């Protein structure tokens, strides 16, 4: 038994990692919907979900159950095979993208095995992600076509045109980063941003300072990348494929129940992937924004310093919450946060280990916040404006950024 | 069985099935989907030979961009199922002999080359991306740039033709 485990350790570890990652990502997805509804509500001076559970925290579970138990009708005249294939394709591709994202540098040592914090780390990680992006058009386009509905077809057509257009600027905008890292590997791109001497935030590609030389900032590349990425994931203000006011619900008008939920999960997973990618490419991945010198050792307590007061505040909030359920749950959650924060101070080894993961998660969270913020505040573009922004603004600017970056790197002397 | 060989046979089988389905499907969208399966399987075969860069470009360019355009045009024209017409005379008389000749020559080639064809794992090329790019931008830079120029001319020609039709 033991020898079987040892011989097949790689496969067992990989399968367990995949299951764990799926569990985490699907949970995060569920709470991302809660986060988005709550945040957009507050932007629009509303309360958002607040009936199911304290602060509406059980809303995702209620939504999930509703999706599962709703009737799942198949409209008349659909192309059955493609109609069923489309949501699977959308969900499978967006979840596959997460396989190549590295979440932390140091492997965990467990049962004598080194467990890396990624599922796969190919040398062409970024290209794999772009390949998946290129294929993920099909989920939406096919859903629109197979539904046998005018609204869906228009949504599908719009999305394929939009995604083809923005894929170009999405790809062009990151070539500057590739030139600076000299690699397609996501891990090497992050490591290249930890400039010798420990510059912290200044070394990240978005500023691009290197020791003793002038900086090659990729801020324009980042703006092009993130704008294109929002369009590529069909999110507001580029959510024309599902513009409610003109196309009912666009490509997923004819989908109900869990097939609709699959599109939903695919969209939110794509948001997480894009946030990971923006973090990795431009904002130093798991690197701390502070220089690595002993003076900044204090910053290693930032996870605790954020968790402890937040936990205390949640306890305080829970004690004066109106419902009994909230009075029981919220202090419990708050106490758990407080305990984790205190535990990190007590266990320096663990604290050191979670530093990269903490920064990575924090940066992803900031980008997810940006996503929701953009949705809450920006009006949707008209279709011709969308095409103009993609072809006449983002593409030339990202190409210019590439040329300038290449020139600057040539002058500076790469590596 | 060698796992790489197993993956090879699965991918090769899928590619052949996809190609057959491409011909036999009656609906253009189903044919296009079959072609996507073929493209992705080919990418898998390239990956198996260690040509990572080529594999990913195969998916991005052929599996993604080009096939999306195919699909887009089919959807835009709202093409329905094909109607079956009588076989063309050429296909009736020359089709079978030509197909047989092609199969025979391919089989003969495969039979002859059998020993010299590298098995999937042997042909591993480290750093294929670097090699390809240095070849493209050093040795073959003029043909490469000329090809891009040719494509640009073709695009502009298509635009001019499309504009003329509008008037």
Local confidence pLDDT in tens for the 415 residues of chain A: 677 777 777 788 888 888 988 999 999 998 898 999 899 898 988 888 888 878 888 888 888 888 888 888 888 878 788 888 889 988 999 999 888 888 878 777 777 777 778 888 888 888 888 888 888 888 888 888 888 888 888 888 888 888 888 888 888 888 888 888 888 888 888 888 776 656 677 777 777 776 667 777 888 889 999 999 988 888 878 877 666 666 777 777 778 788 888 888 898 999 999 999 999 888 888 887 777 777 777 777 778 888 888 888 888 888 788 777 777 888 888 888 888 888 888 887 777 778 888 888 999 999 999 989 988 888 888 888 888 888 888 999 999 999 998 888 888 775 5
Indicate if the pLDDT at residue B35 is higher than 70: yes
Total count of residues recorded for chain B: 167
Give the up-direction half-sphere exposure of residue A110: CA atoms within 13 A in the CB hemisphere.
Answer: 11
Of A122, A130, A144, the CB nearest to B60: A130
Distances (CA, A) of A156 to A32, A150, A267, A271: 25, 10, 15, 19
Four-residue CA torsion sign, A291, A99, B59, B125: positive
Q: Is there a contact between A122 and A100 (Cβ–Cβ < 8 Å)?
A: yes
pLDDT at A79: 79
* Closest approach of A147 to chain B, Cα-based (Å): 12
Nearest to A126 by CA among A239, A202, A205: A205
Distances (CA, A) of A324 to A34, A61, A310, A313, A318: 22, 19, 21, 18, 10
**A→B interface, C-beta within 8 Å:** 79, 81-82, 122-124, 127-128, 130-131, 133-135, 137-138, 141-142, 144-145, 153, 156-157, 160-161, 163-164, 167, 184
Q: Which residues of B touch A82 (CB under 8 A)?
A: 29-30, 33
Four-residue CA torsion sign, A379, A277, A36, A61: positive
pLDDT at A183: 82
User: A134, A154, A155, A165: best mutation site toward chain B, by most B Cβ within 10 Å?
Assistant: A134
Interchain CB distance below 8 Å, A127 and B52: yes
- With CA atoms as reference, the chain B residue closest to A126 would be B56
Give the up-direction half-sphere exposure of residue A228: CA atoms within 13 A in the CB hemisphere.
Answer: 31
Nearest to A358 by CA among A301, A277, A282: A301
pLDDT digits (tens, 9 = 90+) for B93-108: 788 888 899 999 988 8
Indicate if the pLDDT at residue B167 is higher than 60: no
How far apart are the C-alpha atoms of A193 and A181, rounded to whole Å?
8
How far apart are the C-alpha atoms of A29 and A24, rounded to whole Å?
8
How far apart are the C-alpha atoms of A17 and A100, rounded to whole Å?
12
Q: Which residues of A touch B80 (CB under 8 A)?
A: none
Choose between B30 and A7: higher pLDDT.
B30
Indicate if the pLDDT at residue B127 is higher than 60: no
Q: Is there a contact between B48 and B9 (Cβ–Cβ < 8 Å)?
A: no
DSSP annotation of A202: G
Interchain CB distance below 8 Å, B75 and A163: no
Domain ranges of chain A: 2-287+347-412
pLDDT at A149: 81
CB-CB neighbours of A33 under 10 Å: 17
Nearest to A209 by CA among A220, A224, A223, A194: A194
DSSP annotation of B86: P
**Which two three-digit tokens encode residue B36?**
């996507």
Burial of A38: CB neighbours in 10 Å, binned 0-12, 13-18, 19+: buried
pLDDT digits (tens, 9 = 90+) for A244-268: 666 777 777 778 788 888 888 898 9
Of A131, A156, A161, the CB nearest to B60: A131
Peptide bond into A237 cis (omega under 30): yes
**B→A interface, C-beta within 8 Å:** 27, 29-30, 33, 36, 40, 43, 52-53, 56-57, 59-60, 63-65, 68-69, 71-72, 75-76, 78, 129
How far apart are the C-alpha atoms of B143 and B133, rounded to whole Å?
14
Average pLDDT in the B136-140 region?
Answer: 84
Average pLDDT in the B109-118 region?
Answer: 66
Domain ranges of chain B: 1-81+110-125, 127-167
DSSP annotation of B96: H
Interchain CB distance below 8 Å, B129 and A164: no
Tokens 């924004």 -> residue: A289
Peptide bond into B91 cis (omega under 30): no
Interchain CB distance below 8 Å, A124 and B71: no
Q: Is there a contact between A84 and A90 (Cβ–Cβ < 8 Å)?
A: no
User: B72, B126, B159: best mutation site toward chain A, by most A Cβ within 10 Å?
Assistant: B72
Q: Which residues of B touch A133 (CB under 8 A)?
A: 64
Interchain CB distance below 8 Å, A160 and B30: no
- With CA atoms as reference, the chain A residue closest to B51 would be A124
User: B75, B79, B131: best mutation site toward chain A, by most A Cβ within 10 Å?
Assistant: B75
DSSP annotation of B88: P
- With CA atoms as reference, the chain A residue closest to B30 would be A82
Interchain CB distance below 8 Å, A79 and B29: yes
B1-81+110-125 maps to which CATH number? Answer: 1.20.120.1200
Q: Is there a contact between A231 and A368 (Cβ–Cβ < 8 Å)?
A: no
Interchain CB distance below 8 Å, A164 and B69: yes
Q: Which residues of B touch A127 (CB under 8 A)?
A: 52-53, 56-57, 60
How far apart are the C-alpha atoms of A189 and A205, rounded to whole Å?
9
Interchain CB distance below 8 Å, B64 and A137: yes
User: B27, B71, B77: best mutation site toward chain A, by most A Cβ within 10 Å?
Assistant: B71
pLDDT digits (tens, 9 = 90+) for B46-76: 888 777 888 888 888 888 888 888 888 888 7
Of A122, A145, A160, the CB nearest to B52: A122
Indicate if the pLDDT at residue B109 is higher than 90: no
CB-CB neighbours of A217 under 10 Å: 19
Nearest to A325 by CA among A142, A92, A56: A56
How far apart are the C-alpha atoms of B153 and B160, rounded to whole Å?
10
Residue B147: pLDDT band (50, 70, 90) is very high
Q: Report the percentage of chain B scoring pLDDT > 70.
A: 84
Tokens 């764990």 -> residue: A20
Interchain CB distance below 8 Å, A135 and B59: yes
* C-alpha Rg value of chain A to the nearest Å: 23
Residues facing residue A108 across a β-bridge: A115
pLDDT at A411: 83
pLDDT at B86: 66
User: A82, A88, A126, A131: best mutation site toward chain B, by most B Cβ within 10 Å?
Assistant: A131
Interchain CB distance below 8 Å, A137 and B75: no
Total count of residues recorded for chain A: 415
Tokens 């095979």 -> residue: A81
Residue B125: pLDDT band (50, 70, 90) is low
Indicate if the pLDDT at residue B123 is higher than 70: no
pLDDT at A257: 80
Coil vs helix vs strand at A279: helix
User: A138, A150, A159, A168: best mutation site toward chain B, by most B Cβ within 10 Å?
Assistant: A138
How far apart are the C-alpha atoms of A138 and B114, rounded to whole Å?
38
Indicate if the pLDDT at residue B113 is higher than 80: no
* Closest approach of A132 to chain B, Cα-based (Å): 8
The count of CB pairs under 8 A between chains A and B is: 73
Distances (CA, A) of B90 to A148, A162, B85, B96: 37, 42, 14, 10
Residues facing residue A113 across a β-bridge: A110
| CA torsion, ordered B125, B129, B135, B136, to nearest 10 deg | 140
Distances (CA, A) of A56 to A166, A267, A340: 36, 22, 24
Indicate if the pLDDT at residue B124 is higher than 50: no
Interchain CB distance below 8 Å, B75 and A123: no
**Which two three-digit tokens encode residue A246?**
């003109």
Of B33, B76, B129, the CB nearest to A184: B129
How far apart are the C-alpha atoms of B32 and B35, rounded to whole Å?
5
Q: What is the ipTM of this complex?
A: 0.78
């Amino acid at each position: 038994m033991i020898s079987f485990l040892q011989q097949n350790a790689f496969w067992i570890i990989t399968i367990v990692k995949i299951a764990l990652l799926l569990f985490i990502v699907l949970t995060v997805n569920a709470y991302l919907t809660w986060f988005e509804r709550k945040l957009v509500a507050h932007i629009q001076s509303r309360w958002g979900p607040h009936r199911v559970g304290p602060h509406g925290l059980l809303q995702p579970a209620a939504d999930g159950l509703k999706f599962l138990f709703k009737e799942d009708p198949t409209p008349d005249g659909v192309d059955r095979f493609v109609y069923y294939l489309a949501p699977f394709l959308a969900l499978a591709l967006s979840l596959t993208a997460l396989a190549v994202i590295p979440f932390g540098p140091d492997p965990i040592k467990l049962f004598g095995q080194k467990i890396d914090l990624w599922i796969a780390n190919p040398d062409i990680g970024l290209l794999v992600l772009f390949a998946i992006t290129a294929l993920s058009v099909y989920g939406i386009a096919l859903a629109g076509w197979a539904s046998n509905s005018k609204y869906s077809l228009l949504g599908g057509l719009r999305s394929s045109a939009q995604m083809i257009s923005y894929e170009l600027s999405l790809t062009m905008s990151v070539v500057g980063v590739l030139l600076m890292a000299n690699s397609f590997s996501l891990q090497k791109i992050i490591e290249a941003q930890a400039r010798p001497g420990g510059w912290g935030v200044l070394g990240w590609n978005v500023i691009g300072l290197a020791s003793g030389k002038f900086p090659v900032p990729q801020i324009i590349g980042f703006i092009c990348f993130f704008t294109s990425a929002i369009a590529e994931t069909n999110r507001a203000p580029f959510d024309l494929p599902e513009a409610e006011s003109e196309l009912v619900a666009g490509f997923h008008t004819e989908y109900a129940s869990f097939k609709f939920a699959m599109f939903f999960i695919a969209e939110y997973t794509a948001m997480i992937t894009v946030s990971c990618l923006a973090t990795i490419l431009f904002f130093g991945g798991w690197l701390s924004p502070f220089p690595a010198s002993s003076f900044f050792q204090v910053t290693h307590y930032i996870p605790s310093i954020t968790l402890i007061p937040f936990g205390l505040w949640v306890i305080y909030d829970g004690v004066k919450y109106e419902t009994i359920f909230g009075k029981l749950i919220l202090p419990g959650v708050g106490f758990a946060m407080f305990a984790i924060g205190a535990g990190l101070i007590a266990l320096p080894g663990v604290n050191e280990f979670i530093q990269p993961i903490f920064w990575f998660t924090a940066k992803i969270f900031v980008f997810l916040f940006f996503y929701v913020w953009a949705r809450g505040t920006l009006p949707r573009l008209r279709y011709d404006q969308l095409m103009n922004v993609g072809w006449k603004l983002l593409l030339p600017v990202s190409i210019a950024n590439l040329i300038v970056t290449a020139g600057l790197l040539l002058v500076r002397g790469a590596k | 069985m060698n796992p790489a060989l197993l993956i090879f046979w699965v991918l090769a089988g899928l590619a052949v099935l996809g190609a057959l389905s491409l011909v036999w499907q009656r609906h253009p969208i189903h044919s296009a989907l079959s072609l996507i399966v073929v493209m992705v399987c080919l990418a898998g075969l390239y990956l198996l030979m260690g040509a990572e860069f080529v594999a990913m470009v195969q998916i991005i360019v052929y599996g993604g961009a080009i096939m999306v355009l195919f699909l887009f045009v089919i959807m835009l024209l709202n093409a329905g199922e094909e109607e079956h017409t009588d076989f063309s005379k050429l296909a009736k008389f020359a089709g079978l002999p030509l197909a047989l000749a092609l199969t025979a020559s391919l089989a003969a080639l495969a039979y002859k080359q059998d020993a010299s064809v590298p098995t999937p794992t042997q042909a591993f090329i480290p750093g294929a991306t670097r090699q390809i790019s240095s070849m493209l931008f050093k040795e073959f830079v003029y043909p490469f740039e000329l090809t891009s120029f040719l494509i640009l001319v073709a695009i502009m020609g298509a635009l001019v033709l499309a504009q003329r039709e509008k008037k």
